[in-house]
A and B are shown apart, each in its own frame.
Chain A
Amino acid sequence: MTKVKSLADLKKMKEDLQSKVNLREKGDNVERMVQVKVSMATCGIAAGAKEVMNQLITELDNRSVDAVVTQTGCMGYCHAEPTIEVTLPNNDPVVFGHVDDKKVVEIIEQYIIAGKLVDGVIPVNYETVKEHKNK
Chain B
Amino acid sequence: MKDLTMHIVDIVQNSVRAEAENVVLAIEIGEEMLSIKIIDDGCGMDAETLEKVTDPFYTSRTTRKVGLGIPLMKQNAELTGGEVKIASIVGEGTEFEATFGLTHWDRPPMGNLPETVAMTMTGNPSVNLMFSCSKGEASFAVSTAEVKEILGDDVNISQPKITSFLKDMIAENLKELEMIID
Residues of A within 8 A of B85 (CB): none
Contact indicator B155/A73 (Cβ below 8 Å): no
A135: interface (CB < 8 Å): no
Contact indicator B155/A18 (Cβ below 8 Å): yes
Residues of A within 8 A of B67 (CB): 42
- Stretch from A5-13, A89-97, A99-107, A115-123 at the B interface: A5-13
Contact indicator A40/B13 (Cβ below 8 Å): yes
Question: Which B residues lie at the A interface, using CB under 8 A?
Answer: 1, 5-6, 9-10, 13, 16-17, 61, 63-64, 67-69, 72, 115-116, 119-120, 122-125, 142, 146-147, 150-152, 154-156, 158-166, 168-169, 172-173, 176
Partner of B123, one of A21, A33, A40: A40
Residues of B within 8 A of A18 (CB): 152, 154-155
Contact indicator B165/A70 (Cβ below 8 Å): no
Partner of B150, one of A11, A54, A65: A11
A60: interface (CB < 8 Å): yes
Partner of B1, one of A17, A26, A46: A46
Contact indicator B124/A70 (Cβ below 8 Å): yes
Known pairs A42-B68, A67-B160, A78-B64. 17 more at Cβ < 8 A?
Answer: A7-B142, A7-B169, A10-B150, A10-B151, A10-B162, A18-B154, A18-B155, A33-B156, A57-B163, A57-B164, A61-B161, A65-B160, A70-B123, A70-B125, A71-B120, A73-B17, A74-B63
Given A14-B152, A14-B155, A26-B154, the answer on whether A9 and B169 have CB atoms closer than 8 Å is yes
Q: How far is the CB of B146 from chain A (nearest CB, A)?
A: 6
Contact indicator A73/B63 (Cβ below 8 Å): no
Mostly, the B contact residues are helix
Residues of B within 8 A of A65 (CB): 160
Q: For A78, give the chain B residue with the smallest CB separation.
A: B64
Residues of A within 8 A of B166 (CB): 10
Q: How far is the CB of A93 from chain B (nearest CB, A)?
A: 16
Q: For B163, give the chain A residue with the smallest CB separation.
A: A57
Contact indicator A5/B69 (Cβ below 8 Å): no
Whole-angstrom CA separation of A6 from B150 in the bound complex: 12
Whole-angstrom CA separation of A38 from B154 in the bound complex: 23
Partner of A71, one of B5, B124, B156, B173: B124
A58: interface (CB < 8 Å): yes
Whole-angstrom CA separation of A74 from B176 in the bound complex: 36
Residues of B within 8 A of A68 (CB): 156, 158-159
Contact indicator B115/A54 (Cβ below 8 Å): yes
Residues of A within 8 A of B63 (CB): 74, 76
